[in-house]
Amino acid sequence: MYREILCDLEKWKDKPRRKPLILTGVRQCGKTYIVNEFARKNFESYVYVNFEAQETLLAIFDYDFDVNRIVKELERHFKTEIVPGKTLVFFDEIQECTRAITSLKYFCEKMRELHIVCAGSLLGVALKKKQISFPVGKVNRMQLYPMSFKEFLIANDRADLIETFKEWQVDREIPKLYTAPMEELLKAYYIVGGMPEVVKTWIDTHDYDEVEEVQNEILEDYADDFSKHAPLTDVPKIRWIWDSVPVQLAKENNKFIFSHVKEGKRSADLEDALQWLVDAGLVIKVELVEKPEIPLEGAVDKTYFKVYMSDVGLLRAKSKVSVKTILEESALYIRYKGAFAENYVLNELKSLGKNPFFWRSGNTAEIDFIYEEDGEIVPVEVKSADNTQAKSYKQFCKKYKSKKGLKLSRKNIAQNLCESAITYNIPLYLEWNIDNYIKF
Residue 120 identity: G
Distance (Å, whole) CA 327 – CA 190: 10
Residue 79 and residue 220: Cα distance in Å, rounded? 38
Cite the residue boundaries of each domain of the chain with CATH code 3.40.50.300. Answer: 5-143
pLDDT given at position 124:
83
CA dihedral 315, 320, 325, 330 (to 10 degrees): -90
The CATH fold assigned to 5-143 is Rossmann fold (3.40.50)
Q: Return the pLDDT at 265.
A: 85
Strand partners, 418: 421
Strands (E), 240-353: 283-289, 300-309
User: What does the pLDDT read at residue 385?
Assistant: 81
Q: How would you classify the pairing of strands 300-309 and 115-118?
A: unpaired
Please, what's the largest Cα pairwise distance for the chain?
68
CA atoms within 13 A on the CB side of 367: 28
Predicted confidence at residue 201, as pLDDT, reads 98
pLDDT for 130 equals 57
Rounded alpha-carbon distances, angstroms, from residue 4 to 146, 158, 326: 11, 16, 28
Q: Which residues are registered as beta bridge partners of 421?
A: 418
> What is the mean pLDDT of each successive set of 10 residues along the chain, which is 440 residues long?
95 96 95 97 97 94 96 97 97 94 96 96 79 85 97 97 94 96 98 98 97 97 92 94 95 90 89 95 96 94 96 97 93 89 97 96 89 95 82 93 95 93 96 92
Q: What was the pLDDT predicted at 131? A: 66
| DSSP sequence for 48-88 | EEETTT-GGGGGGGTS---HHHHHHHHHHHHT----TTTEE
Q: What confidence score (pLDDT) does residue 125 get?
A: 87
**What span, in angstroms and rounded, lies between the C-alpha atoms of 201 and 1?**
12
The confidence score (pLDDT) of residue 57 equals 95
